Structure 1
Amino acid sequence: MSPNNADAAATIPTRAKMLGDLLSGHFRLNEKLFYGSNLPAITPKGEQYSPEWSDTDIFKLKFVFNGGAEMFRHLLPSQDDG
């Protein structure tokens, strides 16, 4: 496997396909995560955004985070590589 692979998901084809299918509406989730962090630079003083998370949103986020962790573990050298 090449360390220069720009798309780590491609190293796990089944996971990559599932991630692609699940994230068809990912911009909405990204906006919820980004704006829900209430960073001072984008949140008007005295205001706060608290996104509502559906069961589907939570499922997708868990899947994506777990998939990212799996890809990371997959890219790490094995213990046998010493």
Structure 2
Amino acid sequence: MPDRPHAASDLSPICLAARAHVDIRAPNFGIREYVEFGTEASNQVFSYDMSVKEGMFHVGDSARPVVGFDADAAAKYPYN
């Protein structure tokens, strides 16, 4: 059965980065469903080099998933 191009990409950049890097290494990968994320709060907490340009998803120049995490920014948004 072919790979299903679904992941928890709308939950965090970490989930998306991990799955996108698996996808680009799979020779039988076809298409990814992408649910855009990036609220003001999440963009303060996470930094990443992933983008959509002309309908194509780009994972950046790193050979591995790279997502920065700012613990001080995250502390502003405690879990309830």
- Relative to its length, the structure with more strand (as a share) is 2
TM over 0.5: no
In the superposition, the TM-score normalised over structure 1's length comes to 0.29
Higher relative contact order (CA 8 A, sep 6+): 1
Decide which structure has the larger Cα Rg and report it. 1
